[in-house]
Amino acid sequence: MLAVAVLAAGKGTRMKSDLPKVLQPLAGATLVERVLASCRSLRPERQLLIVGHQAERVEASLSAWGGLEFVLQQPQNGTGHAVQQLLEPLADFDGELLVLNGDVPLLREQTIADLLQRHRASGAAVTLLTARLTDPTGYGRVFADAEGQVSAIVEHRDCSEAQRRNTLINAGIYCFDWRRLAAVLPQLRSDNDQGELYLTDSVAMLSPAMHVEVADADEINGINDRLQLAQCEAVIQDRLRCHWMREGVTFVDPGSCTLSDGTRFGRDVVVEPQCHFRGDSVIGDGCRIGPGSLIDNARLADRVEVVYSVVRQATVAEGCAIGPFAQLRPGAELEADCRVGNFVEIKNSHIGSGSKVNHLSYIGDADLGTAVKPWRSAAPASW
Ligand code: UD1
Ligand code: MG
């Protein structure tokens, strides 16, 4: 039996934000959504989310997420205190408890699956994920022997100078034998720099306690401030771009473009510099996007060209050309081979195939037929 508990009750003081930390967005999903997604494939029997600071807001943000049990931690007296709140809901539970910090959003599903498998194979009381960092500042340091057996975790702020030189850090991801953890949880003490109950102190009370080092230290980046938020965003963006380049998308200047998890690209798409894709956008085969365009929850069929334009919640059929400097707003529907030119805004309108809206126009709540084009007067030959 497997239960997963995500610690999401903290305020996130270091973010200096009105938004609870776990609701900060990262490439279009919140931190807590990413953490929950990272263990979905394990199909846990129980999924518990520990909420506290702005609990209602955190709960409301996850209303579409099925099967979650919300457990209130009030006040928030540390990660150990957070897990103590599980003693009641998990009173009859027997099995493994996977504890995930709600601010560690880059973990791969496979890494968590491997941790669980190693834990089950060794029969340890707890197995935790660690990493070696060149700059371990801020993280808890893990003291372990050559066999991977952990004797203690000491928080950065509680470390001596000598202890700080240890570069093996605690990722905040643990697999516990729940019964054995439950037996020691009441013994946690708050004799540390923050005066809080630390979950990390339970590790020294459990034996054997083992650790598994991650190969890719980027995965365990914890987010405590906006700098770390930006670093994680960069890692996710890099992963997404690499994925799509391997799938056959050309990025002329990859680092200048941002993507979302939900965006899908066909083959032979060319993305010019400074393009941004948001939400569940779909880009068909052979499209050419950019430079300088924003595609937000839009559907583009094959061979669409977009230059310096914004396309938001709009549908564009094959062979259309958009821009430069056009805006397609929600509900704009273009049939095949339309042309939308400079300084044109289209909202909630249907444009028939082959039609042209070449310049300086607003089209709203309208229905244009097929092959609608600018009226040509009998212009002098010199025009
Ligand atoms: C924690 C670990 C540290 C580890 C680091 C990894 C402890 C004592 N320290 O430190 O060893 O290196 O994560 O990122 O656990 N939370 C609650 N209730 C609380 C306090 C926190 O639910 O009362 C939640 C927070 O919302 C957050 C998570 O627990 O999602 C971690 O809390 P945080 O304060 O960020 O701990 P760190 O200082 O990062
Ligand atoms: Mg943290």
pTM of the model: 0.91
* Confidence at residue 96, expressed as pLDDT on a 0 to 100 scale: 98
Question: How many Å apart are CA 108 and CA 243, to the nearest integer?
Answer: 14
Cβ contacts of residue 315 below 8 Å, gap of 6+? 298, 299, 332, 333, 334
What is the CA(92)–ligand 2 centre distance, in A? 30
The whole-number mean pLDDT for each consecutive block of 10 residues of the chain, a chain of 383 residues, reads 97 95 95 96 97 98 95 97 98 98 96 97 97 96 97 97 97 98 98 96 98 94 96 97 98 98 97 98 98 98 98 98 98 98 98 96 98 73 56
* Confidence at residue 374, expressed as pLDDT on a 0 to 100 scale: 80
**Across the chain, how many H-helices and E-strands are there?**
8, 29
Cβ atoms of 294 and 300 closer than 8 Å:
no
Query: What is the DSSP code (8-state) at residue 22?
Result: G
What is the CA(103)–ligand 2 centre distance, in A? 6
Question: How many Å apart are CA 3 and CA 61, to the nearest integer?
Answer: 21
Residue ranges and CATH numbers for the domains of the chain are 2-220 (3.90.550.10), 247-368 (2.160.10.10)
To test the pocket of ligand 1, the residue of 19, 71, 79 to mutate (highest count of ligand atoms within 8 Å of its CB) is: 79
Question: In this structure, which residue's CA is closest to atom 1 in ligand 1?
Answer: 172
Element at 278 (helix H, strand E): strand 275-278
Question: How many Å apart are CA 180 and CA 41, to the nearest integer?
Answer: 25
350 is catalytic: no
Alpha carbon 84 to its chain centroid, in Å, reads 27
Question: In this structure, which residue's CA is closest to atom 31 in ligand 1?
Answer: 101
* Confidence at residue 375, expressed as pLDDT on a 0 to 100 scale: 74
Cβ atoms of 55 and 72 closer than 8 Å:
yes
Which residues are near ligand 1 (CB < 6 Å)? 7-10, 21-22, 50, 52, 73, 76-79, 81-82, 101-104, 139-140, 153, 155, 169-172, 198-200, 222, 224
- DSSP percent split of the chain into helix, strand, coil, nearest 5: 25, 30, 45
What is the CA(280)–ligand 2 centre distance, in A? 29
Ligand of minimum distance to the alpha carbon of 222: 1
Amino acid (1-letter code) at residue 162: A
Ligand of minimum distance to the alpha carbon of 13: 1
Ligand of minimum distance to the alpha carbon of 138: 1
For the CA atoms of 354, 355, 360, 366, the dihedral, rounded to the nearest 10 degrees, stands at -140
Q: How many CA atoms lie within 13 A of 60 on its CB side?
A: 5
Question: How many Å apart are CA 49 and CA 68, to the nearest integer?
Answer: 7
